[in-house]
Structure 1
């Protein structure tokens, strides 16, 4: 097995071997990209395939140059063939950075950027002839992105939100009695003007819940019975 994994990158790969590497890369990129496309993410089906395919082709080019690498300068100029895959990884870093957006405490695109970076590695594996490693990596990535995503529906994760209630500077509203039954903590941040030019007290809320939407509605319902709410915003990180 060890010999098979180390001998799959011949100095002169056949056209059939190159075609197989490209085809497997397209299949792997399509499988992961289709899952991202169904989720409505920015980097979907075609983008994932193109990123993986670019990495594959760069590695194939490096493989083809291995047969001439190390010759004397009298035959041709010296070249570091690993510059091709390293250049692809650098380029994907810029693409991934562009996919990540931050608006205040909300960050989106982290999983998308990680997926593009991971698929680049998969493309390099297929392009270099490491078929077994590339196939296993694709299967693992699909499991992580699709079936394991269901863990989010039953894991109790920490939720965060910003709450603003109307009040006066002379008396800070006490929300502990209202939020204690919901296992939610409220930390007073500051007084400030609201959108309708009234005075509001800003709080940072933290609580554990499986369903962020249902728990947020319960918190809003409980607070609204005791205080007049001016603003409420969830803090979240999405892929």
Structure 2
């Protein structure tokens, strides 16, 4: 039965190195295509480059672990973990740059996590753990693709900011009573005088739970427009 050292040679040949680089390119492409199709910032080429960087760092660490003239016990004193730790730290900065926050809207969290897992995959493949890295890539692809359908079936908390024109100030308190039976919570934010006599423009934060990417925002907007004039509508739900 082959030993683990035969699958992960401490002195890799050029064939081993090229094989690792090609495999990490293939796994990066698998995950990168998914992100590219979704229109995310870190797409096809970015994902491959992150994996290649991690892979090259581990290949370098692997090459520095020469076994010539040394016993197996001598490797305990070698701190080769500085390579992957340094790569993971660098990717942390890239991931932080991928996450954007504008008010209550947060985007890029899944993109940052994708770069993180791709780095781990690259480290595994670069260190010669080809099976572990390949399994990790398949698992990541499953989470990003098929699992996304399950995620859309789970009811999420959605939020939107809406400005409505009301006939008078007395209408402000009635909004919640009208839409609460429909599952919407209207939280008063601010009001200002309208151009017409006695009208007021009131801004609300609306909260509700619904599955799916759109979160039934169109249904909410339609329900409000049946009774009032909507001046502005903006989703502020956290997204990937």
Q: Please, what TM-score do these two structures have when normalized by structure 2? A: 0.84
Deviation at 1:79, TM superposition (A): 7.5
Structure 1: how far apart are the matches of 2:193 and 2:85?
A: 51
> Mean Cα displacement is larger for which, 132-141 or 151-160?
151-160
**What SS does structure 1 have at the residue aligned with 2:160?**
strand
Match of 1:210 in 2: 211
Structure 2: how far apart are the matches of 1:45 and 1:202?
A: 41
Per the alignment, do residues 169 and 175 of structure 1 end up closer, same or farther by CA in structure 2, a change over 3 Å counting? closer
Q: RMSD value over aligned CA atoms? A: 2.9
Residues 165-215 of structure 1: per-residue CA shift (max 9 Å, x gap)? 23455663421233134211112223347899x843222211111245472
> Mean Cα displacement is larger for which, 90-99 or 147-156?
147-156
Per the alignment, do residues 52 and 172 of structure 1 end up closer, same or farther by CA in structure 2, a change over 3 Å counting? same
Structure 1: how far apart are the matches of 2:236 and 2:120?
A: 32
Per the alignment, do residues 195 and 24 of structure 1 end up closer, same or farther by CA in structure 2, a change over 3 Å counting? farther
Deviation at 1:128, TM superposition (A): 0.6
Deviation at 1:44, TM superposition (A): 0.9
Structure 2: how far apart are the matches of 1:95 and 1:50?
A: 12
Q: Please, what TM-score do these two structures have when normalized by structure 1? A: 0.84
Divergent runs of 4+, >6 A? 68-71, 193-196
Residues 49-98 of structure 1: per-residue CA shift (max 9 Å, x gap)? 11001100000000111117998xxxxxx984332222211111111111
Name structure 1 gaps, 5 residues minimum.
72-77
Residues 89-138 of structure 1: per-residue CA shift (max 9 Å, x gap)? 11111111111111111111111111011100000000111112111101
> Mean Cα displacement is larger for which, 157-166 or 46-55?
157-166
Per the alignment, do residues 209 and 70 of structure 1 end up closer, same or farther by CA in structure 2, a change over 3 Å counting? farther
Structure 2: how far apart are the matches of 1:70 and 1:93?
A: 38
Residues 142-176 of structure 1: per-residue CA shift (max 9 Å, x gap)? 00001111124432222111122234556634212
Aligned partners of 1:186 and 1:203 also within 8 Å: yes
Structure 1: how far apart are the matches of 2:137 and 2:64?
A: 27
> Mean Cα displacement is larger for which, 179-188 or 51-60?
179-188
> Mean Cα displacement is larger for which, 179-188 or 142-151?
179-188
**What SS does structure 2 have at the residue aligned with 1:81?**
coil
Map of 1:1-239 to 2, 5 A cutoff?
4=4, 8-67=7-66, 80-167=79-166, 168=168, 172-192=172-192, 199-211=200-212, 213=214, 215-239=216-240
> Mean Cα displacement is larger for which, 213-222 or 121-130?
213-222
Structure 2: how far apart are the matches of 1:50 and 1:111?
A: 18
Deviation at 1:139, TM superposition (A): 0.6
> Mean Cα displacement is larger for which, 224-233 or 142-151?
224-233
Structure 2: how far apart are the matches of 1:214 and 1:140?
A: 27
Per the alignment, do residues 194 and 22 of structure 1 end up closer, same or farther by CA in structure 2, a change over 3 Å counting? farther
